[in-house]
Amino acid sequence: MSATTTTAAATVLNPAGFQLPERQLRALRWTIYIGYLALTAGIFHGLAQALSYADIDILKFFPFLRSYYQGLTAHGVANVIVFTFSFSNAFLPLLVARAFARKLNEGLLWASLGALALGNMLLIYSIASGKASVLYTSYAPLQAHVTFYLGVVLVVVSTWLALANMLVVYVSWRKENPGLRIPLLAFVCLTSYLMWFLASLPDAVNLLAFLIPWSVGWLEKTDPLLNRTLFWFTGHAIVYAWLLPAYVSWYLLIPKQVGGRIISDSLTRFVFILFLLLSIPTGFHHQYTDPGISQGMKFVHAILTFGVFFPSLATAFSVAASLEMGGRNHGGRGLLGWIKKLPWSNPSVLAQLLAMIAFVFGGITGLINASYTMNQVIHNTTWIPGHFHMTVGSAVALTLVGVAYWLIPYLTGRKLWNTRLALVSSWTYFVGVLIFARGMADAGLHGMPRRIYRVQAGYNNIEWDLGGVLTGIGGSLMFVGLLLFFVIIAMTIFFGKKGGAPRDIPWSETLTAPKLSGWEVRYDNLKLWVAVAIVLILIAYGPFFLGMYSPNFVSPGFKFF
């Protein structure tokens, strides 16, 4: 087996040189490429969406669009369902394989890729043919063609198969290393997808037991409150499924890239355990205005939402400390002098630093959303897309862009094409997203509804004009930024110089080695944390399903667009 270092005896296996076989790298590459294909479509639709808020009649300029809602569905599904999970399905198993210095299971790897590809094809078919303009939330009673729901199911199944792959590798490692701590890099990837697995079950039930039978006519009517609740049961945690792979990079990889170290092994594990425990029992904060759910239950979810704010706060301080260490190691002095010394000219680092800065605003707006009374002001206004473009639309998207700048060269063996353009791309996107979110937030505070096609809405408000124009300008810049990203990635894949690519992942060392005795060892007891997560979920959702909810299957399907 591999060499083992003695400093962090329990965690760092085979610190240099482990490489997956080419066939497995190819499967990982294709998994990511599917995400890029989706994102390419997603950004064109994103541009159209942003322009529509500037009161531009996009149906004239984008002749392939049948309706505004078709475009919005394509935008949401491509970007946050296909792109995010494609990337994570490759990124997390790769890191787990690397952390354990073991090959992945080839059958599971290709099965996951197959489910993702097929799911994506079904989604493209159903949305492009205008049979599924139900938006990414797929709320009943809006009804889509069955291929849409099957597409979502297959994408979810692909994530389960990716998790199964990581677990297979983990279990085989564990058999040979019964006493060792799980390498931190593997631990964070495993907890991220274990959380997502638990979180995905309610919407799987929603799709398999209700929406699919309802869409093919086996179930005549459905219960929209039940469908919404099952969706948000999954739907809040899904945002952390998008976020955690970015956190994996911020905690574990970025310190190495900036010349610092991971501040604390224990804190990092603790933060990911908190996400496993608290991401799921918070879904009612998306349903504060829904009838049929008691104020008491909404209050419980609000408190737990403030709880899940905490691990992100801890992340801000911990990651900032790693960055400061890197900046000081490069000669940064004084209170803030280290910031200048960070490697801003490294495109992979730049994109991720900008992602972090945007996320400060994403976090603050999240806290406002979570506060019940303030939520009444901004719910269903454009403030909400303002919030989520500073979270998934920048903290996550820009981080995945930054990771791609080393990962694609690593997977293809080709050098990144045009580093300077990569810097331009990230700055353009970052400036764009800040202008965009400012516009959306401003208009939202003046009551501009989200998910409304202004040109055809039949009502307007002069106070929405400034916000709408800013949204249009910002969205156009975001589009240009990501278009440049695609050019860079495509040029790297096809024409990048062979050789000169990184031979290994940027894997940081920890300031202190993990404890080998005492209570902290229990952090590695994954079964225990999964069990505690289930108990918390039962407490948060039990009273609703066992007490308040009475089935009300009254709604036929509606197809408006």
| Residues in region 35-54 near ligand HAS by CB under 6 A | none
Binding site for Cu ion (CB under 5 A): 236
396 binds ligand HAS (CB under 6 A): yes
Residue 254 CA to residue 356 CA, distance in Å, equals 11
Q: Is 449 in a helix, a strand, or coil?
A: strand
Q: Is 240 a catalytic residue?
A: yes
Considering only residues 59, 113, 254, 370, which one is a binding residue for ligand HAS as defined by CB under 6 A?
Answer: 370
Q: Is 75 a catalytic residue?
A: no
Neighbours of 343 (CB within 10 A): 16
Q: How does DSSP assign 479-545, residue by residue?
A: HHHHHHHHHHHHHHHHHPPBS-S-SS---PPBSSPPPSSSGGGGGG-HHHHHHHHHHHHHHHHHHII
Per-residue H/E/C for 78-90? HHHHHHHHHHHHH
| Residues in region 98-157 near ligand HAS by CB under 6 A | 137
Q: Is 450 a catalytic residue?
A: yes
Considering only residues 70, 257, 391, 492, which one is a binding residue for ligand HAS as defined by CB under 6 A?
Answer: 391
**Token pair of 171 as six digits:** 């279990």
199 binds ligand HAS (CB under 6 A): no
448 binds ligand HAS (CB under 6 A): no
Nearer to ligand HAS, 149 or 430 (CB): 430
Nearer to ligand HAS, 231 or 417 (CB): 231
Residue 412 phi, psi (nearest 5): -105, -15
Considering only residues 146, 189, 243, 252, which one is a binding residue for ligand HAS as defined by CB under 6 A?
Answer: 243
Residue 384 CA to residue 460 CA, distance in Å, equals 19
360 binds ligand HAS (CB under 6 A): yes
Nearer to ligand HAS, 367 or 548 (CB): 367
CB of 9 to Cu ion, least distance (A): 40
Nearer to ligand HAS, 10 or 239 (CB): 239
Return the C-alpha torsion angle 295, 298, 302, 307, nearest 10: 120
Nearer to ligand HAS, 11 or 49 (CB): 49
- Which residues is 555 bridged to in the sheet? 222
281 binds ligand HAS (CB under 6 A): no
Question: Residue 41: which of 62, 59, 26, 57 has the closest Cα?
Answer: 62
CB of 161 to ligand HAS, least distance (A): 23
Residue of 240, 247, 405, 410 marked active site: 240
CB of 318 to Cu ion, least distance (A): 23
241 binds ligand HAS (CB under 6 A): no
Nearer to Cu ion, 240 or 251 (CB): 240
Decide which of ligand HAS, Cu ion, none touches 366; Cβ closer than 5 to 8 Å per partner kind. Answer: ligand HAS
Residue of 45, 102, 145, 236 marked active site: 236
Considering only residues 31, 120, 159, 375, which one is a binding residue for ligand HAS as defined by CB under 6 A?
Answer: 375
Q: Is 389 a catalytic residue?
A: yes
Residue 226 CA to residue 232 CA, distance in Å, equals 10
**Taking each helix axis from N to C terminus, what angle separates 265-278 and 526-543, rounded to the nearest 10 degrees?**
30
Nearer to ligand HAS, 328 or 379 (CB): 379
Decide which of ligand HAS, Cu ion, none touches 40; Cβ closer than 5 to 8 Å per partner kind. Answer: none
> How large is the C-alpha radius of gyration of the chain?
23
Decide which of ligand HAS, Cu ion, none touches 91; Cβ closer than 5 to 8 Å per partner kind. Answer: none
CA 372 to chain CA mean position, Å: 25
Give, for 179, the enclosing helix (H) or strand (E).
Answer: none
Residue 99 CA to residue 174 CA, distance in Å, equals 13
Residue 277 CA to residue 72 CA, distance in Å, equals 32
CB of 353 to ligand HAS, least distance (A): 5
Contact 429, 404 (CB under 8 A): no
92 binds ligand HAS (CB under 6 A): no
CA 552 to chain CA mean position, Å: 33
Decide which of Cu ion, ligand HAS, none touches 396; Cβ closer than 5 to 8 Å per partner kind. Answer: ligand HAS
Using CB atoms within 10 Å of the CB of residue 313, give its burial: 0 to 12 exposed, 13 to 18 middle, 19+ buried: exposed
Considering only residues 149, 272, 359, 485, which one is a binding residue for ligand HAS as defined by CB under 6 A?
Answer: 359
Nearer to Cu ion, 236 or 438 (CB): 236
Residue 488 CA to residue 180 CA, distance in Å, equals 41
CB of 325 to ligand HAS, least distance (A): 12
Residue 384 phi, psi (nearest 5): -65, -50
Residue 442 CA to residue 228 CA, distance in Å, equals 28
Residue of 145, 261, 285, 450 marked active site: 450
Residue of 18, 125, 451, 549 marked active site: 451
Q: Is 29 a catalytic residue?
A: no
Residue 385 CA to residue 371 CA, distance in Å, equals 17
Cα-based distances in Å from 345 to 132, 160, 340: 43, 37, 11
Nearer to ligand HAS, 323 or 416 (CB): 323
CB of 133 to ligand HAS, least distance (A): 15
- Which residues is 142 bridged to in the sheet? 558
Task: Give the chain's end-to-end CA distance (angstroms, integer).
Answer: 59
Q: Is 228 in a helix, a strand, or coil?
A: helix
367 binds ligand HAS (CB under 6 A): yes
DSSP state of 307: H
Note the residues at the interface with ligand HAS (CB under 6 A): 137, 239, 242-243, 285-286, 305, 308-309, 312-313, 315-316, 319-320, 323, 339, 353, 356-357, 359-360, 363, 366-367, 369-370, 375, 379, 384, 387-388, 391-392, 396
Active site residues: 236, 240, 387-389, 450-451
